[in-house]
A = this chain, B = another copy of it.
């Protein structure tokens, strides 16, 4: 019973199989890529951003585990979700474990980027995590209260917190901090606005893909958003375009628990989305946001001295809205 004998104690191998499941499935890896590119874009060594990129990616995986539990999703990255594969208890604890382990690389930062930048990065990650979970709770609140009075503005606010910070803004801000001698508030602000626009475009595209992608490429469940009653920009456009009679029926469908929604319920909502061109509306908004992001890069980022990496960011803006999965 001497505690130091247990320093190397590890739980059964099943546990580590569960932990490493999502992180080893093929993902886009967009967040660490953005972080490394940001460091390189200002002439920094992107190797020094690897720990931070890994932390963000692991945190992302931890959020996915939790999201899939909460949404009772069936598929993720082309395989069964962790909750379906191992049950709620192990999945929930694996989510916690991945979240906790994701902090380790931030501590490793101390050896490579120094105390000050390490702390700055920890603060950025903390802000990101707080915003993500606030956005997530806001989204759930909208569903729980069966809100049908939302405007595009509400969606943008939700999305900024739920998606933009942890998918784009934090990766590029931390990359910039790591890669620069001393990142200025103006640079950080510009990168933040870039990330906000491209992040919104990313999430809107994600939502349209949920309706239009092929199951095989997409990996997740097609039309899962309608089943979950998610307040996407598409749904919000529909609710603001349809007749009050239609809105009443949509409201009833949205209120129905996921498992009780019928195929014809889903088809009804989907047909109305087509009738009112709600998907096209969302695609148009995504495009205009991506163009705005592009303009920020071209007009306001002269400090981005490495042209190759600036091009990488420009390429991302077109990838994000053209992607099929």
Partner of A70, one of B93, B104, B119, B196: B93
Judged by a CB distance under 8 angstroms, whether A296 is at the interface is no
Judged by a CB distance under 8 angstroms, whether A223 is at the interface is no
Judged by a CB distance under 8 angstroms, whether A217 is at the interface is no
Contacts of A87 in B (CB 8 A): 144
Counting from the closest, the 8 A-B pairs by CB-CB distance are A11-B138, A15-B137, A100-B129, A97-B133, A70-B89, A12-B141, A96-B133, A93-B137
- Within the complex, the shortest CB–CB distance from A186 to chain B, in Å, comes to 13
Within 8 A of B (CB), among A183-219: 189, 192-193, 196
Contacts of A130 in B (CB 8 A): 97, 100-101
**Contacts A/B (CB < 8 Å), 11 sampled:** A3-B169, A12-B138, A15-B138, A66-B93, A70-B92, A92-B92, A93-B133, A97-B133, A100-B129, A100-B130, A101-B130
Other A-B pairs, 13, CB within 8 Å; known A9-B160, A10-B134, A107-B119: A12-B141, A15-B134, A15-B138, A18-B137, A66-B93, A66-B96, A69-B92, A89-B143, A89-B144, A93-B137, A97-B134, A103-B126, A122-B122
- Within the complex, the shortest CB–CB distance from A234 to chain B, in Å, comes to 18
